[in-house]
Amino acid sequence: MEHVTSNFSQKLGHDGLGAVYKGKLEDGEVIAVKRFDERLRKLEEQFERVVNLMKLRHKNIVRLTGYCYEPTKVPVPDDKNPELYIWWDVIENLLCYEFLPNGSLDMILNDKSCELDWQTRHKIIHGICEGLHHLHVECQDAPLVHEGFKPANVLLDNGMVPKLADFCTSMAVTPR
């Protein structure tokens, strides 16, 4: 993934779980790669739950295209002697998503030079509602609640079609 992301050099953003980088596959497809923060890399259960979201298919939900679960070693300074390093085995967890070039709804709303016409606003609101409806009602296994829903987690494609993103804190809800 270092090759795909040019050594994680093109950072797109960061949230409480990790950073997102722009990458390019060998076939030319541009993707977004989420790299979890080091403190979260051992949360394999969380990672497995997110990977299950690869099954989600809807025009208003960001498509998770792949993942990387790779053992690696990282140097950690020794507490007693900061000049010494201990090599720790860690798991590198990366998620690969479709790349959405227009960024987040949050960025659009805060950009004073970007004025959305009413038709585009309606299209965005309608798409968000359709995506949430799919999560809450149409998911086959169990309804999902997007606990991190906010404008920063609504991404826009070339045609300003909104797609819900960042399901790392979503949870399945058992119907009563």
| Bridge partners of residue 34, in order along the sequence | 20, 95
| Bridge partners of residue 162, in order along the sequence | 156
Rounded to two decimals, what is the model's pTM? 0.77
For 72, the token pair is: 């690696």
Q: What is the mean pLDDT of residues 113-142?
A: 88
- Architecture of 11-172 per CATH? Orthogonal Bundle (1.10)
For the CA atoms of 121, 155, 50, 67, what is the dihedral angle to 10 degrees?
Answer: 150
Domain boundaries of the chain, sorted by first residue: 11-172
Q: pLDDT (tens digit, 9 = 90+) per residue, 32-67?
A: 998 877 665 555 566 666 666 777 889 999 998 888
